[in-house]
């Protein structure tokens, strides 16, 4: 009996192939999501290219203002390219706006022939060439940034520390692939388990992206090294500041930070606020205390003196530490999220767990900012007793 001939799989229909192509291009996003992403990218790009454009001068007409902005944007875009790519782009623009034409010539037999030249096609090809060159640079940079992001993720704590009687949660949302925000939870062992202390740190390096991420890594390494000593929290901050000043370019690369050392057995908290947003300590009765005692940001002045203060985290209390990217997030009209909205989310979720508060906070932030591009890193660390 002859062996059955295997049947080939039916060829996908044109509609199926088109759907598969669209899914691959859009990564499964809905049209509304793509439009929202496009609007956010457009606003972010305009903000990037329009930085430094002068404000409208008194008496300046709308037409003159338009021309001035268009000229400034043109040069802002051109100057981001290498000289060779600038020439290609300018030549492409000339070809696109130059009318296509041709010329006649006599061939060897004495006849007249017409040679037509479509400059629009050549202009489009040159723009496509510039796009390919820029895309290649972007792919290489994206790969390097993804590696840097993975390395940075290794520097941050993973699963929250399990601490009897306490619940901890934290999250960060970078404005770019890598961030300048830093948070950590560090166990500082004592002579015996009853003397153990837990160090909570949230820091915000001035700037964003790669420069801030590199300084953040230096901050993390020095903090981890210093925290192994038996020195007090105040001494630790002093030493950290002194070291940071040797790498801060005269105070330009500073870091705001909040340090809190918890005694788990009593709920006593010793803290130092180095120029950071004052964290919120919500007591069980609903009153809010702002922890602001401290001093200058880390890395500004080598001999800066810091002040340590104490607070108590009683059962039912919350400690909410955040960076300015949370409360300074802006929406389309330019209004900031502000601390009072954070306090409102805290009040609504006070009976829940820190993980619930984080979800509610970032959901409320998303609803507030809408399509407005994120302009700063957002980080929040939460500690609840009981």
Confidence bin at 47 (pLDDT 50/70/90): confident
How far apart are the C-alpha atoms of 117 and 129, rounded to whole Å?
19
User: Which pair of structure tokens corresponds to residue 382?
Assistant: 């939460």
Tell whether the model's pLDDT for residue 279 goes beyond 70. Answer: yes
Residue 143's pLDDT is what?
83
- The CA distance from 336 to 375, in Å, is 12
163 burial (CB, 10 Å; 0-12 / 13-18 / 19+) is middle
Residue 22: helix, strand or coil by DSSP? helix
- Domain ranges within the chain, ordered by starting residue: 66-155, 157-385
Sign of CA dihedral 11, 16, 22, 24: negative
Structure tokens at 7: 């049947």
pLDDT in tens, 91-139: 888 888 876 665 565 666 666 665 666 778 888 899 999 999 888 888 8
Neighbours of 358 (CB within 10 A): 18
Question: Do 185 and 198 meet the contact criterion of CB atoms below 8 Å apart?
Answer: yes
CATH topology (fold) of 157-385: Phosphatase 2c; domain 1 (3.60.40)
What would the mean pLDDT of 276-298 be, rounded to a whole number?
95
Q: What is the CB neighbour count within 10 angstroms for residue 155?
A: 15
Quote the tokens at residue 100.
């296509």
Question: Cβ(266)–Cβ(194) under 8 Å?
Answer: no
What confidence score (pLDDT) does residue 38 get?
82
Give me the count of residues in the chain: 386
* Residue 311 neighbours by CB distance under 10 Å: 20
> How large a percentage of the chain has pLDDT more than 70?
89
Q: What is the DSSP letter of 228?
A: T
pLDDT range class, residue 216, cuts 50, 70, 90:
confident
Alpha-carbon torsion, ordered 255, 218, 232, 312, to 10 deg: 50
User: 273, 253 in Cβ contact below 8 A?
Assistant: no
Q: What is the pLDDT of residue 332?
A: 85
Query: What is the pLDDT averaged over residues 342-369?
Result: 94
268 - beta bridge partners? 263, 312
d(CA 268, CA 260): 10
Rounded CA gap, 76 and 280, in Å? Answer: 42
- The Cα 267–Cα 385 span in angstroms is 8
Phi first, then psi: give them for residue 20, nearest 5 degrees.
Answer: -65, -40
């Amino acid at each position: 009996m002859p062996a059955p001939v295997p049947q080939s799989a039916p060829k996908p229909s044109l509609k199926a192939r088109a759907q598969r192509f669209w899914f691959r291009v859009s990564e499964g996003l809905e049209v509304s999501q793509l439009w929202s992403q496009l609007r956010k990218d457009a606003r972010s790009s305009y903000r990037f290219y329009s930085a430094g454009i002068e404000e409208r001068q008194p008496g300046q007409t709308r037409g003159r203002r338009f021309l001035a902005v268009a000229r400034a944007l043109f040069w802002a875009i051109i100057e981001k390219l290498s000289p060779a790519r600038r020439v290609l782009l300018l030549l492409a623009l000339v070809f696109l706006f130059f009318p296509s034409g041709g010329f006649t010539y006599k061939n060897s037999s004495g006849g007249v022939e017409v040679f037509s030249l479509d400059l629009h096609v050549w202009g489009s090809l040159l723009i496509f060439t510039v796009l390919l060159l820029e895309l290649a640079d972007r792919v290489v940079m994206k790969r390097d940034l993804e590696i840097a992001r993975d390395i940075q993720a290794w520097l941050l704590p993973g699963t929250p520390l399990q601490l009897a009687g306490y619940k901890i949660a934290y999250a960060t949302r970078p404005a770019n692939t890598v961030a300048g925000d830093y948070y950590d939870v560090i166990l500082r062992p004592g002579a015996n388990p009853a003397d153990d202390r837990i160090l909570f740190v949230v820091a915000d390096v001035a700037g964003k992206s790669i420069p801030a991420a590199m300084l953040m890594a230096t901050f993390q390494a020095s903090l981890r090294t210093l925290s192994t000593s038996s020195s007090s929290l105040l001494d630790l901050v002093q030493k950290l500041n002194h070291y940071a000043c040797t790498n801060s370019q005269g105070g330009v690369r500073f870091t705001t930070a909040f340090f809190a050392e918890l005694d788990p057995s009593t709920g006593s908290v010793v803290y130092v606020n180095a120029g950071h947003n004052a964290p919120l300590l919500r007591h069980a009765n609903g009153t809010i205390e702002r922890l602001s005692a401290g001093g200058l940001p880390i890395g500004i002045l080598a001999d800066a003196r810091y002040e340590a203060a104490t607070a108590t985290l009683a059962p039912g209390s919350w400690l909410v530490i955040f960076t300015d990217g949370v409360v300074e997030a802006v929406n389309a009209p330019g209004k900031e999220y502000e601390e009072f909205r954070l306090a409102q989310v805290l009040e609504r979720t006070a009976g829940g767990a820190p993980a619930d508060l984080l979800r509610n906070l970032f959901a409320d932030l998303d609803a507030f900012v809408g399509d407005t591009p994120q302009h700063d890193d957002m980080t929040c660390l939460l500690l609840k007793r009981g």
